[in-house]
Structures are given as structure tokens and as C-alpha cells.
């Protein structure tokens, strides 16, 4: 086996490519202030004009993305978070050093932020069979997290407290990666402070 293939098996680095879209003239400030307020020292991080990518242990990837969204939402502006989480064969190793950090999360203070949100998520467990049952089981798991879970096309809708939704997403991602899927992708879109009524068909 070549060195890159070995890295894939041993490292299991998780990552998230995401963007925050604040619906306000002060969008630059909302994004940059959130990035400054969140402790990102336990993840590899790169921000560009299009997105931010964080990579490292699952716990820190979720700690950082959850904190960034909740900080941006706490400004009261309508903000949307759009993300792709992935674990499996990343094909590179420049963040592997972050796998040696301890598991202590650096942004636990964001659990004080109360934020009603609406969102959706989709799971793509790659590299295994029987994927629909695997997905249905994790949708059931999400219902145990104090979140309203409902069916929509191509995804599952989530309504409730932002931190509970992030905790549920982390739980299903962790469940799938540890038991079923050699390469897992999860997409999510989460909206806070929308002026639209919940579920309104416009």
C-alpha cells in the first residue's frame, strides 16, 4: 500500500468546508468578528473569499463550526450557515498534526447562547451498502436530541435550538463514521433570525 493510502486509514481527519452568509450590510464585520471570537487553535483553518475550511478531530471541527455560527447568529442579524462535513480519505495530510490534540473543547461557552434556528441536513455514507437504512436510523437518532425532525425532499428538516441541532449533527456524524461508513459526507444548511415565518411557502 502506498504512503497516501496508509495515511487515509490511520489518520481519519475530519473536515468541514462552510460559509456564513449574514443578510446585512455589516456582513464583513459579522463574519470576521465571529472568526476572531472563536478559539480555532485545535483545528487547521483556512479562510478565503468563498469559504472557511477547518480540519482536525471531529469534536473540534464541530466545536468550532457550532461556535462560529452561534456567534454570528447572536448579532441578531439573519444569518445562514452552509456546510459540508466530511471524513474518510482526504488525500492530503497537512492538518494531521491536529489529530494529536487532546479532546477538551475550547468553545464550550457557546452553550450559553440560546438561538432558535431552522435547517436541514443530508447524509451520504459512502463506501457501504444498505445506505437508506443507515440514514433512516440516524434520522431516528436525531429525534432523540430535542429537535423537531420532519421530512422534506432530498434532506431532513430540523427546527429547534441551534446548539441542540449542532449536537445532534455531531452525534449522527460520529455514529456513522465509527460504525458504518469508510467515507462519510454530511451537508447542512442552518438559518437563524429569518424574517420569514417558519416553514412558510413563499
Cα separation, 160 vs 38, in Å, equals 23
> Using the rule CB under 6 A, which residue among 8, 19, 99, 106 binds ligand VIB?
19
> Using the rule CB under 6 A, which residue among 47, 137, 175, 182 binds ligand VIB?
47
CA angle 117, 147, 58 (to 5 degrees): 85
Q: For residue 14, give the nearest of 51, 77, 48, 65 by alpha carbon.
A: 65
Confirm or deny that 20 is annotated as ligand binding. Answer: yes
Q: With DSSP H G I counted as helix, E B as strand and the rest as coil, what are the percentages for the chain, rounded to 5?
A: 40, 30, 30
Nearest residue (CB) to ligand VIB, 34 versus 156:
34
Asked if residue 71 lies in contact with residue 37, where contact means CB atoms within 8 angstroms, the answer is: yes
Nearest residue (CB) to ligand VIB, 32 versus 150:
32
CA angle 53, 59, 60 (to 5 degrees): 45
Query: CB of 183: closest distance to ligand VIB in angstroms?
Result: 24
Torsion of CA 102, 104, 106, 108, to 10 degrees: 160
**Can residue 96 be called a binding residue for ligand VIB (CB under 6 A)?**
no
R_g of the chain, CA atoms, integer Å: 17
> Using the rule CB under 6 A, which residue among 13, 14, 16, 20 binds ligand VIB?
20
**Can residue 13 be called a binding residue for ligand VIB (CB under 6 A)?**
no
Query: CB of 163: closest distance to ligand VIB in angstroms?
Result: 18
**Can residue 49 be called a binding residue for ligand VIB (CB under 6 A)?**
yes
> Using the rule CB under 6 A, which residue among 40, 52, 181, 187 binds ligand VIB?
52
Stated as kind and residue range, the H or E segment containing 84 is strand 79-87
> Using the rule CB under 6 A, which residue among 28, 108, 144, 152 binds ligand VIB?
28
**Can residue 84 be called a binding residue for ligand VIB (CB under 6 A)?**
no
Annotated binding site for thiamine: 20, 52
* Residues at the interface with ligand VIB (CB under 6 A): 18-21, 27-28, 31-32, 47, 49-52
Amino acid at each position: 500500500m502506498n504512503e497516501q493510502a496508509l495515511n487515509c486509514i490511520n489518520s481519519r481527519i475530519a473536515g468541514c468546508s462552510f460559509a456564513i452568509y449574514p443578510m446585512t450590510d455589516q456582513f464583513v464585520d459579522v463574519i470576521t468578528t465571529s472568526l476572531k471570537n472563536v478559539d480555532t487553535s485545535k483545528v487547521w483553518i483556512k479562510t478565503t473569499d468563498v469559504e472557511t475550511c477547518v480540519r482536525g478531530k471531529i469534536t473540534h471541527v464541530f466545536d468550532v463550526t457550532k461556535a462560529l455560527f452561534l456567534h454570528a447568529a447572536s448579532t441578531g442579524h439573519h444569518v445562514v450557515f452552509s456546510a459540508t462535513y466530511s471524513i474518510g480519505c482526504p488525500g492530503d495530510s497537512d492538518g494531521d498534526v491536529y489529530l494529536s490534540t487532546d479532546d477538551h473543547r475550547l468553545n464550550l461557552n457557546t452553550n450559553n447562547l440560546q438561538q432558535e434556528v431552522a435547517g436541514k441536513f443530508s447524509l451520504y455514507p459512502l463506501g457501504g451498502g444498505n445506505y437508506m437504512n443507515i440514514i433512516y436510523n440516524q434520522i431516528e437518532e436525531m429525534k432523540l436530541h430535542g429537535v423537531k425532525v420532519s421530512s422534506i425532499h432530498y434532506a431532513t428538516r430540523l427546527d429547534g435550538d441551534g446548539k441542540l441541532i449542532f449536537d445532534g449533527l455531531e452525534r449522527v456524524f460520529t455514529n456513522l463514521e465509527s460504525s458504518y461508513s469508510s467515507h462519510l459526507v454530511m451537508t447542512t444548511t442552518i438559518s437563524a433570525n429569518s424574517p420569514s415565518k417558519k416553514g412558510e411557502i413563499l
